[in-house]
Amino acid sequence: MFFELRQYRAWPGKRDDLARYMEDVVIPFQIAKGMVVTGSFAGEQEDDLYVWIRRFEDEAEREALYAAVYESDEWKNTISPRVGELLDRSKIVVHRLTPMGKSVMH
């Protein structure tokens, strides 16, 4: 099992809109496709930061879920264009993390 911690930087003044879109549209859509989202966060001290975490059992599951989400017409035609209006894709940072034995998230 591993986690994917994704850090996004919203365009100036768009972080609240990004967080709302993630919570209302992106996350429910991805969950409906089988993704497991373990958390989502707005930066307390950085007014452009949005972070979320997804869990995968293995690489094969991640690849299958990525295909189900990112190759879908709804993602390509409706969701992704709006995401690009809210965040700077060039600043996305993704960390793959393996939980340690004492982590409550393993």
Of 40, 23, 33, 39, the residue nearest 75 (C-alpha): 33
Which domain CATH number covers 7?
Answer: 3.30.70.100
Q: What is the pLDDT of residues 22-69, one digit of tens each?
A: 999 999 999 999 999 999 999 999 999 999 999 999 999 999 999 999
53 is a domain residue: yes
For the chain, the domain total comes to 1
Taking CB atoms within 8 Å and a gap of at least 24, the contacts of 33-40 are 33/65, 33/68, 33/69, 33/72, 34/64, 34/65, 34/68, 35/65, 35/69, 38/3, 38/105
10 is a domain residue: yes
Q: What is the pLDDT of residues 62-91, one digit of tens each?
A: 999 999 999 999 999 999 999 999 999 999
Cα separation, 96 vs 106, in Å, equals 14
Q: Please give the residue range of the domain that contains residue 9.
A: 2-97
* Upper half-sphere CA count for residue 99 (Cβ side, 13 Å): 16
65 is a domain residue: yes
50 is a domain residue: yes
Q: What's residue 70's pLDDT? A: 97
Task: Give, as one character, the DSSP assignment of residue 68.
Answer: H
